[in-house]
Structures are given as C-alpha cells and as structure tokens.
Chain A
Amino acid sequence: MNAGPASSEQPRTYIRFDGALGVIENLFNLIAAASILVLMLLAVVQVVGRTAFNWPVPGFIDITEQAMAVFAFGGIAYCQRVGDHIRMEIVLGQLKGRTLWIAEFVGVVLIWLVITGLVYGSWFHFQRSWLLGDSTIDIGLPTWPSKLVVPVALSLLWLRLVLQIYGYWRLVRNPDAEPIAVPVIHDVAETAKHEIEEAFGEDPAEFGRGEKA
C-alpha cells in the first residue's frame, strides 16, 4: 500500500519509521486480540468448572481485571494509526486543502500533549505499585505488571503521534502532496462504501497495513 512513484520527494526516513512502528503496533494489537480469546476461554472454564465440578477458577475476577489492561490498551496506537478513535467529522469534513491539514495538525498536537501528560502520570501510578507495593483483593496478585502496560502502550501511541505530527506538517507545507501514513476523512457515502467492503470482505483488513490513506 502507499506505493507512490519512487521519486526523490518521498520522505524515505519517515516512511521507514512508519513501517517499523507499524510492526510493533500490529504485534501489540495481535497480543490484545489473543488476550480476548484467552479471556473468553477462561470464562467458559470458570462457568463449566463451577457448575459441573464445584471448582471455580480461583481468583477469576482478579485475574480477569489485571489481564484487562492488555486489551484495554494494547491496540491504542494501532487504532490511532488507522484513524478509528471516534470523532465528529461534520465540521472537519467541510474543510479542504491547507485549512484541513492545519486543523488535523493542531488536533494531533493536542492529543500528543495530553498523552505526554498521561505517560508521565501513569508511569508514577505504576511506580507506586512497584516501589510501595499493591496487590489484588482476592488472591493477592501484584498489580504492577498490569499498571506497567499503560505507560508502555501510551508511549507507543506517543511515538505514533510524533509521526502523525510530522505527517500533517508535511501536508500543511505542501497541501498538494500525497497524504502518507495519516488517516484521511471520508464523507458519509465513502464511509458507507467502506462499511460495505468490510461486511462482504472484499477488502479484508489484513494484519498488516490497514490504513485508509
């Protein structure tokens, strides 16, 4: 995808960075997906074990809660890459050219700011559980591994945002350039087309690069 003409205008370092980051993001999302399957199977074991054999999974709620961090945060950077975090596009959809890229640029910078703050804050949340101790209510699992997932996943998102800041900046400077590695807006009809493709699997979203760009 994104295989434009190999001209000297192609920002090669940027594309390479995007690709490398994409590999990590895909891996994180894959782990998140796997954790959902495991959670489902564990819950089935829990119900069957409890009703048929009087053997509930010990500390099932504790285990589930701590493991939730994996699928609650694992795919966050991936989701930002493909532009799936929801927003209202009705105003943005009216904008064209440089105005649009400036709006997108400012939006991503704001997200980058808040994620910077949250990486800092969630790191200290992890650090307290690591240094001072913390454990779950029922079977006393340590909570720090789960808390560590947050700053790690948010850091990956932070890197993705840095990349998108550059991506939109590039378009602000040259609005006619081809958008590379940034999500672009579709109007309702295009969104509908996309939904239809997904429903019929004509464009199977692969585990690889799924950008709408």
Chain B
Amino acid sequence: AETFAQDVTWNVSLWGKRRAFTEHIEKLAELVDQKTDGGFKLNLSYGEALSKSRENLDGISIGAFEMAQFCASYHADKNPTLTVLELPFLGVPDLETQVALDKEIYSHPAVQKDLARWNAKLLMSSPMPQYNFVGKGDAPKSVSDFEGMRVRALGGVGKAMETIGAVPTTVTASETFQAIDSGTVRAASFAPHAHLAFKTVEAGSWWTTNLNPGTVNCPVVINQDAYAALPDNYKEALDSSVDEAIAHYLATYKKVYDKWYPTLDEMKIEQITFEQSEIDAFKEKAGKPLWDEWVKEMSAKGIPAQELLDMVQSKLN
C-alpha cells in the first residue's frame, strides 16, 4: 500500500513514561516530521500500550509496529551478541564514548545478523552511565564490605557483585524503594535517572561514586521490511536524523546529572569513593574472569565473541 501512499506512519513501542531515556526518540520523530513536511510520522506509544517491554523484539518480528526500544539484559538469549556491551568493568569513561562504541558494535555483521533473526535493524543506542549503588545503613568503606550484603543487581552487574561476596536478590524495579527501606535488600544499582524515578534516594543513605561495575545496553530498532519499503527520501530523512537525536539525548542526560548531585546533597546521601587499588582488585576478580567466561559461552553458540570483545577494547584504549 505504501508505494502509492505518500503518508507513512510508524508505530513506536515504548515502556514507562516520557523521560531522559526516550528523548532521542522524541527528537527523531520531530526531525523526521520536519524533513518530510509531515509525510513521515513516528507515533510514539508509551506505557507498554503496544507491547510489554520484554516482548518488543517479538512485536518487531511480527511486524505489529515498526520501531521499538529494549534492553539487552531483559532477555540475553534473544540478543546474545549485544551482551558484550553489558560485561562488567569495560571501563567506558563517558556517554559520548558509549555512543561511539555502540555504533561500532551495532555495525558488526555478527551483531546485525543476530538482530536480523528478529527482522530488526539497529538504529541507534540509548547510552546509559555506569550502574552505581544507592544503599542504606553502614556505608561500605572498602569493596570487601559488600561481602554478605543483599543487593539488587541484574545481569553482568549482578555477576560482578557475586565475585565480591554480595548476594544478588531479585526485586522488581518498582518494589526497590520498599525493599531498601525495609531491609529486604541493603543496596540497589541503577543509572542515576532510574535512581531518581524509583526513589531509591529517598530510602538510601550512601552512594558509590566510582564502583562503576557496568551498565545496560538499550538500543532502538526498526522493522527491516518497513525500512525497506520506505521511499528513498524518507529513508534519508530517518538516517540523517540519528546523530542530532543522540546529541539531543546527551544534552538532556546532562540535565539529569545537574539534578543528581544536588539531590544527593539534599537527601544527605554520603558519597563513597573507593581507593583505586580496591577498584583494581575488584576489576581483577570480576572483569577478566567474567569476560573469559562470556567468550567461552558465546563462542560455543557460534558467535565471534573474542572478535567482539577485542573490538570493544580497541575502541576504549
């Protein structure tokens, strides 16, 4: 039908409300609309109205909507190649670097092939800073103080924390505030915007500034067939808007930080900075060994794991 129809509307499946984490998609919709004189519209649906977040790749594969955001750690087996970006202690210094790194990995043929199984094409990333901990009670003075501590940490971060004796405990994001407040867990790891959204700062008394155990990778993907069916000028409008959308995202995320540190002060949250030697020791235990394990596991699945990991490291050094 699209061959003769000028107007194209894409449905975009998102979860939660509009926030820093979705601002690049909002910007993308605005830019595409402008560049095509309203001919190509992105219709953003928040709050899992079109699909549960964990099933966004299914929806893309079915062709129920044309664009969606998801996080690799929600379902590692759906996107094994992307989990390279969630390994602990990769040492990504800032969001700009994360964007460049994601772009590089997203363009690797093995990664593209992985997502193509879902009829998905990677469009752009939603870079997030390191997941640090907000916790309650006695602040850890050294990394070893995490021994025996019940923490909420998922995926690679959880695995890393296990190596220093912490006890990862399952708590849903929305229950985290209660869980910290009541002592079900002592600490929880999120990116700052999520610590604010889930109010952990209201329950906690300390924050780890430099534990930096890792992050979560959340790309925006589009349906391959829908992309192929776009008129050339619409394709061009979409592709050419990505960089500006990401720039807008980074600017917005800076504002989260502008709010973050004042909030920590306001809530009288102690900022814990560990000795570099301690961080190095943690990385020694949780970095390389977990990377090796990942390479072994992924290689067994026929994924060029070492190549992907090398690519990540060359980008960072």
Contacts and interface: CB of A to CB of B under 8 A. Distances in A.
Interface stretch (B39-47, B166-174, B247-255, B282-290): B166-174
B75 A134 contact: yes
A62 B78 contact: no
Contacts of A62: 170
29 contacts: A50-B169, A50-B184, A54-B148, A54-B150, A54-B167, A55-B167, A56-B167, A58-B168, A61-B171, A61-B172, A124-B62, A128-B58, A128-B61, A132-B117, A132-B118, A133-B77, A133-B78, A134-B77, A134-B78, A135-B75, A135-B76, A135-B78, A136-B75, A137-B75, A138-B158, A138-B168, A138-B170, A142-B77, A143-B75
Count class of interface residues, chain A:
20 to 34
Interface in A31-84: 50, 54-56, 58-62
Interface of A: 50, 54-56, 58-62, 124-125, 128, 132-138, 140, 142-143
A56 B170 contact: yes
Contacts of A138: 154, 158, 168, 170
Interface in B43-100: 54, 58, 61-62, 73-78, 80
Nearest to A47: B184
Q: Which residue, B62, B150, B170, has most C-beta atoms of chain A within 10 A?
A: B170
Interface of B: 54, 58, 61-62, 73-78, 80, 117-118, 148, 150, 154-155, 158, 167-172, 184
Q: Give the most central of A58, A62, A137: most B CB within 10 Å.
A: A137
A137 B117 contact: no
A210 B170 CA distance: 40
Contacts of A56: 150, 167, 169-170
A126 to B, nearest CB: 11
